[in-house]
Structure 1
Amino acid sequence: MLSALLKKHLGHMHVIYLHGFQSNHRSVKGQLLAAYCQQHVPEINVYLPDLNQSPHAVVQRLDQYIQDHTDKHLVCVGSSLGGFYANYLASQYHLPAVLINPAISPWQLFNSRFGHHQLPFAITTDWTLTQDDLNYLQYDMAHKPQDLKKILLLLQQGDEILDYRHAARYYHAEDSQCMMILEQQGDHVMRNFADKIPMLLMFLVHRCLSRNL
């Protein structure tokens, strides 16, 4: 059904998958998504960038990818810190997005985990977290998308890293039209993600259709 919709109305679609903190472009969820699309919906290309850089460098890379693919139907899927990046892309470029246990205020999380006295802190061989990074996350990237109908929020109450209620409150103000699926138990990784892939792809395709038709 997805292939038929794409062939008839959209052609090809590009999914930008944004992994979480201390993960990389080989993240399990990203690989599951790419494998599913390759097998079942080859009209969907999955882009898996490595985000282990400063937030400013990540934004430059993602902005460039979007500028290079303005002729494509672009959507994004992000997990944890990647969910924060996906929120940024949705707000800046009005892209449909799926957010998986997203970080809402990552600068607060980093402050509580590392503290000002530990900065700069080496996260990977390619990224050392600085106070400038935290400021950039907070003041340059924290913008809620205007069209929340394009957002699908996937939360699990058992998330041991992030309090799911922060994201639920952030996206579900009184007049919000954001779609949210909240599951009991679960965890931050969302181990049943593979079961959700057909549903989230259908959501993204239909949001592209509503913009295109």
Structure 2
Amino acid sequence: MLTHLLYLHGFRSSPQSAKARWMADWVAVHRPDLVWACPQLPPSPAAALDDIHAITAGWPAATTGVIGSSLGGFYATVFAQSRGCRAVLVNPAVDPARDLAAHIGRQTMYHSAGESFDFRAEYVDELRAMAPPEPLAHPETILAIVAKGDEVLDWREMTARYARGRLKLIAGSDHGLTDFESHVPDLLRHLQL
């Protein structure tokens, strides 16, 4: 049974995203014994990974799970592959170095009106440097939930990347997976919650 759970949000997102709040509420009601962390990740991927490792230092791999959405899905892949723990990825970014190269400069936050940050060119290099190996070392630890209706990332690329693990392909939906709640039973089963 899982004892520790980490949630990693996407680019320009935060712990205030609908999925992060939904999971925080679920944990509070159903598993208040669970060690739960959903940090605000910094714009620098290297700093984000440092924060993730600092938060989870001492967490037991066998009973740790991670959920990641979009860029958080990329980070969750890196984390889960290095730790050998279970992961659920929601519309995960496959090549964020390529995709985010077009977003260098000032960015606004989705859930914090008026807040912004600088996404720097060196962050693209940081993403490139941390890309997990292909093929993944532990694909069996991953459940990828991929929406064909994702308007930001290519579902075919996500499906190809995570084909060796468990894959749930959704006919419609969108990048934010607004029907997240309907996929929670699969998430809970995979994470052994």
TM (norm. structure 1) is 0.80
CA distance in 1, matches of 2:152, 2:184: 23
How many equivalent pairs are there? 186
Task: Tell which deviates more after alignment, 47-56 or 66-75.
Answer: 66-75
Alignment partner, residue 186 of structure 2? 199
- Relative to structure 1, the CA distance from residue 40 to residue 70 in structure 2 (aligned partners, 3 Å threshold; closer, same or farther) is closer
CA distance in 1, matches of 2:156, 2:174: 14
Structure 1 segments of 4+ aligned residues over 3 angstroms from their partners: 124-127, 141-145
Among 105, 126, 142, the alignment partner of 1:151 is 142
Unaligned runs of 5+ in 2: 109-114
CA distance in 1, matches of 2:10, 2:76: 11
1:8-27 to 2 correspondence within 5 Å? Answer: 13-27=3-17
Among 152, 157, 160, the alignment partner of 1:169 is 160
Say whether the 8 Å CA contact 2:5–2:35 is kept in structure 1.
yes
Larger radius of gyration: 1
| Helix, strand or coil at the partner of 2:146 | strand
- Relative to structure 1, the CA distance from residue 43 to residue 195 in structure 2 (aligned partners, 3 Å threshold; closer, same or farther) is farther
Alignment partner, residue 37 of structure 1? 27
CA distance in 1, matches of 2:40, 2:5: 14
**Identity fraction in percent:** 28
- Counting helix residues as a fraction of each chain, which structure ranks higher? 1
Say whether the 8 Å CA contact 1:37–1:45 is kept in structure 2.
no
Alignment partner, residue 9 of structure 1? none
Alignment partner, residue 167 of structure 2? 180
Alpha-carbon RMSD across the aligned residues, in angstroms, is 2.0
TM (norm. structure 2) is 0.88
CA distance in 1, matches of 2:6, 2:64: 7
CA distance in 1, matches of 2:127, 2:185: 31
Structure 2 letter corresponding to 1:185: G
Alignment partner, residue 129 of structure 1? 119
Structure 2 letter corresponding to 1:203: H
CA distance in 2, matches of 1:102, 1:41: 25
Structure 2 letter corresponding to 1:160: E
Q: How far did residue 42 of structure 1 move?
A: 2.4
